[in-house]
Amino acid sequence: MSVLLYADERVLEHRPTVGHPERPERFSAAIAGIEAAGFGDALIRDTPSIVPVEALLGVHTDQHVKTIESYEGLEYVQVERDTRMSEGSLLAARLAAGAGLDAITGLQEGRADAAMVVMRPPGHHATPTNAMGFCLFNNVAVAAHHLTTQGHKVAIIDFDAHHGNGTQDIFYERDDVMFVSLHEYPQYPGTGAASETGAGPGEGSTINVPMPSGTTGDVYLRAFDEIIEPALESFGADWLLISAGFDAHRADPITNLGLTSGDFADMCTRLVSYSKPGQRLAFLEGGYDLHALANSTASCVAALLGEDLRAESSSSGSHDHGVVDLVKATRQ
């Protein structure tokens, strides 16, 4: 098996300010973890291109795109409460959104079995109209929408510790994209209750699994086995996209979940088993402890390659407080 890796050091020029959790070192740590794993020729490096504006307009309003573009070249802009831009941020965001489109093209050309986009800023909090939560453009949504224009059905699985509210908003009333989020609840941004299941044609195509603080990997795997796998089979997506946020790791400084890099290996291995070769694509989202981020990213890429790589054992022992049964009940 092989994996296309899309990464570009120009994202290091996105500098939200000293001390900000979404810092350039995140990119360096993720790449270092992948390189230390020694995947050899199975990993195919490529450089992304800038996203076309029309691709952004598939998921964002014209006003939002123009607002972000208006900050080009400015040394520092506070876009909203916790989302900031520097002189190199717009280029980084354009490349991060473009990487998913390039990955789709590469996979459709048969160049690899899967792809991993290791770019920044992340994207899953960006709504149709606003940047938020460190995110400027919604990278995974741009890719998903592009696939739907080709007639594909798409499933997005988001295991970032924070609910992917932007992705949910974009596809909430659509029946061609299924969005599943496993996240700490309540936690920023405060959305993602089990009762949020979609609307109109999209009713039932949104699945939220709101995990209590301290939740360990055994509960996540129960959710995968009893909720996600049946939902994917029922929905019939031909492409699987992963919002791979690693801030659910127990060492992460801004969350309170109990996962290890071994748990991310388990989850990504399951996601590979649920999808078809050449039609699976992962995007780096959150993850703010650099050591945990390096190990977890490497474990995810290994799973995409059909390998098992884990610096830590899987976790277990927490109580799910009925969350899996609650979510199952909403789908009956």
- Catalytic annotation, residues: 125
- The rounded distance, in Å, linking the Cα atoms of 137 and 100 is 12
> Which amino acid, one-letter code, is at 139?
N
Encoding tokens for residue 86?
């520097």
- The rounded distance, in Å, linking the Cα atoms of 206 and 173 is 9
> In Å, what is the CA distance from 265 to each residue of 77, 159, 222, 297, 308?
37, 12, 15, 9, 7
- The rounded distance, in Å, linking the Cα atoms of 50 and 8 is 11
Encoding tokens for residue 308?
């098992």
Going by C-beta distance under 8 Å and a sequence separation of 6 or more, which residues neighbour residue 40? Answer: none
Please, where are the H alpha helices in 57-184? 62-69, 89-108, 139-149, 165-171
- The rounded distance, in Å, linking the Cα atoms of 57 and 179 is 20
- The rounded distance, in Å, linking the Cα atoms of 325 and 275 is 25
Three-state DSSP at 292 gives helix
Helix 290-304 × helix 25-37 angle, to 10°: 50
